[in-house]
Structure 1
Amino acid sequence: MLRTGSQDGNAAPFFFFHTRRAAEGMTFIEMLVGIAILLIVFLGLFAAFQLSINLVFSTKAKTGAVALVNEKLEYIRGLSYDAVGTVGGIPGGNIPQTEQKTLNNITYTLSTLVQYVDDPADGTGASDQNGITADYKTVRVEADWMVAGSPRSTFAVTEIAPPGIETLANGGTLTVNVFDAFAKPIEGASVRVVNPSTTPAIDVTVESNSMGVVTFPGTPVATNYMVSATKSGYSTAQTYNVTAQNPNPSPGNIAVINKKTSTISLAIDALGSLAVSTFSPAAQANFTDSFANQSQLSATTSATVSGGSLRLSGTAGSYPASGSGYSMPIAPQYLSAWNSLSFTGSSSPQASLSVHVYYWNGSAYVPVPDSALPGNSA
């Protein structure tokens, strides 16, 4: 601002300068950086909060599973020795092999496996000093459940000993060996033993050990034990019944003899893949161009399409000496080989027509040589 004046009335210049400080604020870039920092912080906090919730839920679920497993084991420990067995198992009993329990709104699947053990302290198999291979029992209880779509499991094992001297009225040992095409033992194969003719009926599944072996001491004496073995990603092998259509199955169902060991070996192997393509018999295919338009032509030289014909460009008296048109590539689907090719066409009396067949040589379309199609290059 500029003002003039003086105290004595004489005109004199007087200057007054006024400055204003610009209003402070954030630029757009600064705002974006701030938002990004806040977003990172809040996302980190949210992830930590979600992780803590999942951890609490997972811990709660596992605690419930452990409680159910312990409860099941305590129940089994309270049974008499002879009553410790599963429905359809070896040994048999009234304990379900699988059952579902719900605790704290979580569904658990409890799996119980009871097996006889042939204690090596008094010899095993045929070398057992007293001829009794069912020395005591082991009980394995496993709980399976889901957490956020992921499977979880826990298990516990206990041993149940007979109250006095081991006794077994009758029974033998069934041993199953599982191996692959190279005779390498397969660990974790599911071995299923079924015999509906025993009382109670037997239907039990056990996984093979690191040696690919599953042993069933104390198996009731009976014939027609059906044995199968499989594993995820592997084939399935099994024994077969004797039938009128198959009087000598290989391998056939196995029998268990009192105080003897019956052994069956099953070979399974990793699965592969096989692609099968089927084709119909060779047939004719047709390519037709009525020259209604140029849609069936990939290129033309000194020629145009009009009136249902391929004509030389120009007007009367000024036609070029020759012209050409190239059809779209003819490539039938699933083409195996060319057998023959025929062509029909017509031209006016004032013009001549010639047809040539081209093929793709990897870089360009070139005429089929005369050795393959006589007269094609002329």
Structure 2
Amino acid sequence: MPKFLPSVRNLLKGQSYFDLLLGIALLSIFGLALFRISSLSYEIISYSRARIAAKYIAQEKIEVIRNLPYDDVGTLGGIPPGNLAQGENLQRNGINYMVRTIIIYIDDPFDTIAPTDTDPADYKRVKVEVTWGGIAASSRNPVAISTDISSGIATEIEGGVLKVLVFDANGNPLPQASVNIVSSGITPAIDVTYETDEDGEVTLPGATECVACYRITVTKTDYSLERTYSISEITNPLKQDQGVFADQVTQISFAIDKTSTLSVSSVTGREQNYSPAPDVSFKLRGSKILGTDAYAQPIYKLDDPFTTNASGQVTIQDLEWDVYQIYMDTGTSYDIGGATPLLPLNIVPDSTNVLTFVVYAHSTHSLLTFVKDPTLSLIENVYVKVYDGVSFDQTKTTGGSSAPDFGQTLFSGLEEKTYQVEATASGFLNYTGEVIVTEYTKDEIVLTPE
């Protein structure tokens, strides 16, 4: 009789293999879960032990400071000055702890504040922060202990008050911003960093008197940076290094916010189907200025060169919120024949932006036209004619709505003189005007609906 069915022995053997594989799989899952639970438990225990040790370190530091004479309560390079280190490393139980000591004078409003209060250094506030590394690192959750220390008697402190205000792009106070203050022109020298409070402020009574000696730099993780400048760096800085005068308040404000990203693509003209244009060098310039030079020319905060790669692309990181313009530097091989979105480009905080611009061979004199409706929206497929009545007469159309040169078109090979411009589009009245062309010239045309 033919044997079409497997034997009972084979069936049992197959079942045994399946049971074995299933058992191994379940054991692996259980073992992995057990290992993860054990690891997590170890991390939690290690973190708790490290945090307890950090708390003891902070308490010890506070007690040491409390037992110092009042005049000695200060940090090296800080306001008020003293002999305590701003930062130090300690080893406990094989863990490296970083201890940061922050001491400032407090101008308490109970007796009014400066400048009404002519002795604004009412008492000192001490804050000790302890962080640590290792497997169970503190990350951004340090142990922090604060205390106020008073002299017990009325004391008059020499100097003035330095007050720093920090805002975001919308004008809202920005807490926990880093404020670094440096001055090597006074004794003792100052080099200290504070964090703004919930009102975005750092107030420092007891700052040593000086003229334009305090360099102030403000930033925050993933935020832009703003600082003061000396007249040796910028002839006429908008934010000059600050001075402090006796019994007066020096106040300065800064604006920072989260940075953004800009991805830029350079492409050829519509005649080449907007294919990638590799290795195109350009400059990116913001509208914010740091001041002016000796010839009253603006010094821009950002005016940097960039070059697209072999694929015609480049990504620019850490851009501050601003209005940016892309332009070609002197001696370039290209002219910009349009861009999407239309330049200049407004970049807001904490944003990801994409820009594509069209390039053509450089011409000594050229004209880039933009055609818009009364709402200033670009119009596609507009016939634009540029002529001089002598030797030049050329008609082109603006780019389509999905093209990088939407509503724009470039005329090259022009001369330095006046040209007539005509524009026609369905649903709009014909336009006639003139434009003086000098080097790379831009002309905006607004069409009126029929």
TM-score by length of 2: 0.54
- Residue 127 of structure 1 aligns to a residue in which SS? coil
* Map of 2:122 onto structure 1: 135
- Indicate yes or no: 2:107 matched with 1:118: yes
* Map of 1:158 onto structure 2: 147
* Map of 2:262 onto structure 1: 274
Q: Which amino acid aligns with 1:46?
A: F
1-structure distance, mates of 2:163, 2:311: 56
Match of 1:67 among 44, 56, 59: 56
Q: Residues 94-113 of structure 1 correspond to what in structure 2 (within 5 A)?
A: 94-113=83-102
- Residue 209 of structure 1 aligns to a residue in which SS? coil
Q: How many residues align?
A: 265
**Change beyond 3 A, Cα 1:169–1:44:** closer
Alpha-carbon RMSD across the aligned residues, in angstroms, is: 3.0
Q: CA deviation at 1:22?
A: 8.7
- Indicate yes or no: 2:88 matched with 1:93: no
1-structure distance, mates of 2:55, 2:165: 33
Q: Which runs of 4+ in 1 moved over 6 A?
A: 21-25, 278-281, 332-338
- Indicate yes or no: 2:133 matched with 1:146: yes
- Residue 191 of structure 1 aligns to a residue in which SS? strand
Per-residue CA shift, 1:224-250, capped at 9, x if unaligned?
Answer: 21112112222211111123x743321
2-structure distance, mates of 1:51, 1:230: 35
2-structure distance, mates of 1:165, 1:265: 34
2-structure distance, mates of 1:38, 1:222: 73
2-structure distance, mates of 1:55, 1:84: 36
- Residue 51 of structure 2 aligns to a residue in which SS? helix
Q: Is the 8 A contact 2:167 2:174 kept in 1?
A: yes
**Change beyond 3 A, Cα 1:280–1:36:** closer
Q: Residues 14-33 of structure 1 correspond to what in structure 2 (within 5 A)?
A: 27-33=16-22
Match of 2:215 among 223, 226, 230: 226
Q: CA deviation at 1:208?
A: 1.3
- Indicate yes or no: 2:65 matched with 1:76: yes
2-structure distance, mates of 1:32, 1:114: 65
2-structure distance, mates of 1:169, 1:77: 20
Q: Is the 8 A contact 2:173 2:198 kept in 1?
A: yes
Q: Is the 8 A contact 1:226 1:240 kept in 2?
A: yes
* Map of 1:48 onto structure 2: 37
Q: Is the 8 A contact 1:65 1:154 kept in 2?
A: yes
- Indicate yes or no: 2:219 matched with 1:203: no
Unpaired runs of at least 5, structure 1: 1-20, 282-331, 339-378
- Residue 262 of structure 2 aligns to a residue in which SS? coil
Higher relative strand content = 2
Q: Residues 300-311 of structure 1 correspond to what in structure 2 (within 5 A)?
A: none
Q: CA deviation at 1:39?
A: 2.8
Per-residue CA shift, 1:323-349, capped at 9, x if unaligned?
Answer: xxxxxxxxx9879799xxxxxxxxxxx
TM-score by length of 1: 0.63
Match of 2:181 among 176, 193, 202: 193
- Residue 125 of structure 1 aligns to a residue in which SS? coil
Match of 1:38 among 18, 27, 49: 27
- Indicate yes or no: 2:245 matched with 1:257: yes
Q: Which amino acid aligns with 2:94?
A: N
**Change beyond 3 A, Cα 1:276–1:263:** same
- Once the two structures are overlaid, the 10-residue window that deviates more, 199-208 or 218-227, is 218-227
- Indicate yes or no: 2:57 matched with 1:57: no
Percent of matched pairs sharing the same residue: 38
- Residue 274 of structure 1 aligns to a residue in which SS? strand
